[in-house]
Amino acid sequence: MSLLRSQSGRRDFLVTSALAGALGTLLPAAAQAGTPPAGTATAAAPAAQAETPFAGAATVGAAALGQHPARDPSIRPFRFQASDEALDDLKRRIAATKWPSRELVPDASQGVQLATMQKLARYWEGDYDWRKFERRLNTLPQFVTEIDGLDIHFIHVRSRHPNALPIIITHGWPGSIVEMLKIVDPLTNPTAHGGSAADAFDVVIPSMPGYGFSEQPAELGWEPVRIARAWTMLMKRLGYSRYVTQGGDWGDPISEQMALLAPSEVLAVHTNMPAAVPPEILKAAQSDSPPPEGLGADERRAYDQLRFFFTKGLSYALQMAGRPQTMYALDDSPIGLAAWLLDHDARSYELIARAFDGEKEGLSRDDVLDNVTLYWLTNTGVSSSRLYWENKLPFFAPFGLKAPVAVSAFPDELYQAPRSWAEKAFPNLIHYNRLEKGGHFAAWEQPELFTKELRAAFRSVR
C-alpha cells in the first residue's frame, strides 16, 4: 500500500484546502471535482483519504488540483487541520521507535543524546498536544497564493496602527513559521508589548518552498535568489511598495538578496545571521587553520565559532547539499526526524536538551515539538533539505549590499558577527547590537529582545 502511494499528495492538499477556504467553509465535498471528499479547510475531513492510515497532511484531499488557473494571483485564506489518523499514526510510530545504542560519551559530542531523545519521545507520545498548536496557528490570518508556479503559504497580520511598517520575516532550516509566532503580536500590536504605536509593523511570514504548508517544488531552480524574487512578488501582491526584510539562517540570504533585487522597495534589511565574514577569514576557517594574526577579541571568538562550525558542525549541511534524497529516514521515522532537526548546532541543541530536562529558558518542549511535528505532518524532511542542494550562494560571505542593514549579533549564533566585520560587509550599517543572550533561533528563543531589536533597527527608516 504505502509502497505504491502516489507522490502528489501534499500539493493536492494545499490547493484543496486553500480553495475550500476561498469558497467558504462547509462546501459539500461532492461539489469538488468528484474525487473522494476532501472536506473543508476549516474541518479537514480526517478519514476522507483513508488510502493510508498515516496520510495526514499529505493526502487530505485530491479534489481541487487544477481548479484555480495557473498564474492565478488570488490570495486564498488557509487553515490547517491534521487528520486524527495522521496524529494517531505519529504516536504509534513514536511508541514503536527502535532506538540506537547509547552514545559512548557523557556529552553531545557524538550528536543527540539517547536520554534526551527518549525524554522527547515520551513527552511527544504521551503529553504533547498538536491540536493546541493548531488552534493557536489558526487564530492567525493565513493565506496561500501562487507565485512563480508554486503555492506559497504565509501568515499576514496587519497592525491596527496607521503607518505600520511592512516587514517580511523569513525562517530557515530546521525552522519554520513556528519560529516566528511569538513575535507576531509584539510587532503588530506594540502598545500591548511595551512599545509605542510608532513601533508597529505589518507582518508577513511566508513558508519557504518545500517547507511547511508551502508547496513542494516539482522542478529545479528554487534556490534562495528565486525565493527572494518570489517574496518581492508576494509583497507587491499584498500592496506593499516600501517595506523591510528580516531573516536568520536561510532567511538571511533571502532577506539580503531581496534588497539587491528590489532596491527601491526594500528600505532596509535586518539580519540575525549576517553574511559578513571577510573572505580571508572564511577561507581560513573552512580549511581549519589557526586564527589569522591581529584579530580583536570579538573577531577571535567569531573565528573560533566559525572554525568549529566548519570542522564539527557542517556535516548536516553537506548531507543535504550532496544527497538530500538519500535521507528517506527523515520522512519515515519521527525520532530520526527529531534527532536530525534538534542537532542543528551545538548551542541550540544544548538549549533544547535543557528544555527536556525541565528547565524553562528560551525554548519549551512544546515549541520544539510544534516545529518537529509540523515537519512530520507535512512530510517535508527531504523536501526541505533540497534547498541546500539547490543553493549556489556561499555561507556567510558578503553579497556586497549597499542597502541599509541592521545586525543583531546573538552570542550563541553559529558565529556572533563582530561590529568590525558588519561594518566592512555593510557600508550602510544602520544598527548593530551585541546581545547578552540568544542563539540561532533568536526570534523563537528571545522574542522580547528580538522585538526590541527590530523596533530599534528600523526606527530610522520609517
Partner 1 sequence: MIVRLAAALLTAMMLMTGTVRAQPAGDESIRPFKVEVPEREVAELRRRIRETRWADRETVGDNSQGLRLAELQEIMRHWGGAYDWREAEAKLNALPQFVTRIDGLDIHFIHVRSRHRGALPLIVTHGWPGSVFEQIKLIGPLTDPTAHGGRAEDAFDLVIPSIPGFGFSGKPAAAGWNIERIARAWAVLMKRLGYSRYVAQGGDWGAAVAGAMARQAPPGLLGIHVNLPAAQPPEIAAAIAAGSPPPPGLSANELAAFEALKSFFQKSRAYAAMMGTKPQVVGAALADSPAGLAAFTFDYNRQEPLRLLDRDEFLDSVTLYWLTNSAASAARLYWEEGGRSVTNSAGQKTGEISLPVAVTIFPEEVYRAPESWVRRAYRNLIYFHEVDKGGHFAAWGEPELLAAELRAAFKKLR
- Catalytic residue ranges: 249, 388, 440
117 binds partner 1 (CB under 8 A): yes
31/318 with CB nearer partner 1: 318
Q: Is 43 in the site for partner 1 (CB under 8 A)?
A: no
Regarding 379 and contact with partner 1 (CB under 8 A), the answer is yes
Reference 399, options 285, 284, 308, 263; nearest CA is 263
Task: Provide the β-strand partners of residue 245.
Answer: 168, 269
Determine if 313 is a binding residue for partner 1 (CB under 8 A): yes
The single residue among 139, 196, 241, 326 that binds partner 1, judged by CB under 8 A, is 326
Give the CA radius of gyration of the chain: 22
Span of 159-167, 309-317, 401-409, 452-460 interacting with partner 1 by CB under 8 A: 309-317
According to CB under 8 A, which one of 27, 33, 65, 114 is a site residue for partner 1?
A: 114
Cβ-based nearer residue to partner 1, 132 or 323? 323
Nearer to partner 1, 170 or 380 (CB): 380
Write out the binding residues for partner 1, residues 255-284 only, by CB under 8 A.
283
Rounded least distance, CB 400 to partner 1, Å: 21
Note whether 287 binds partner 1 by CB under 8 A: yes
Burial of 160 (0-12, 13-18, 19+ CB in 10 A): exposed
Applying CB under 8 A, among 173, 340, 396, 444 the residue interacting with partner 1 is: 340
Is residue 110 a contact residue for partner 1 (CB under 8 A)?
yes
Q: Does 115 bind partner 1 (CB under 8 A)?
A: no
Pairing of strands 405-409, 429-434: parallel
Among 63, 155, 339, 387, contact with partner 1 (rule: CB under 8 A): 339
CB of 311 to partner 1, least distance (A): 8
* CA separation for the pair 234, 203 (Å, rounded): 12
Cβ proximity to partner 1: between 26 and 115 the closer is 115
Q: Minimum CB separation from partner 1 for residue 95, in Å?
A: 12
DSSP β-bridge partners for residue 203: 157, 167
Is 174 among the residues that bind partner 1 (CB under 8 A)? no
| Helix orientation angle between 279-286 and 297-308, rounded to the nearest 10 degrees | 40
Count residues near partner 1 (CB under 8 A): 64
Cell numbers found for residue 98: 527502535
- Rounded Cα distance between 71 and 17, Å, is 18
Q: State in angstroms the smallest separation of the CB of 322 from partner 1.
A: 4
Residue 250's alpha-carbon distances to 26, 45, 175, 206, 397, in angstroms, are 38, 34, 10, 13, 13
Under rule CB under 8 A, which residues in 202-241 are in contact with partner 1?
A: 216-220
Min separation Cβ 367 and partner 1, Å: 20
Angle at the Cα of 264 from the Cα atoms of 165 and 203, rounded to 5 degrees:
25
CB-count exposure of residue 11 (10 Å: 0-12, 13-18, 19+): middle
Residue 79, burial from CB neighbour count under 10 angstroms (0-12, 13-18, 19+): buried
Alpha helices in 140-245, H assignment, sequence order: 181-188, 224-237
Strand order in the sheet with 165-170: 75-77, 142-147, 150-157, 201-206, 165-170, 243-247, 266-271, 405-409, 429-434
Of 67 and 315, nearer to partner 1 (C-beta) is 315
Q: What are the C-alpha distances in Å from 273 to residues 151, 261, 370?
A: 27, 20, 23
Q: Which of residues 54-73 bind partner 1 (CB under 8 A)?
A: 54
CB of 207 to partner 1, least distance (A): 15
Interface with partner 1 (CB under 8 A): 1-5, 7, 10, 54, 97-101, 103-105, 110-114, 117, 216-220, 283, 287, 311-316, 318-333, 335-340, 343, 379, 381-383, 386, 389
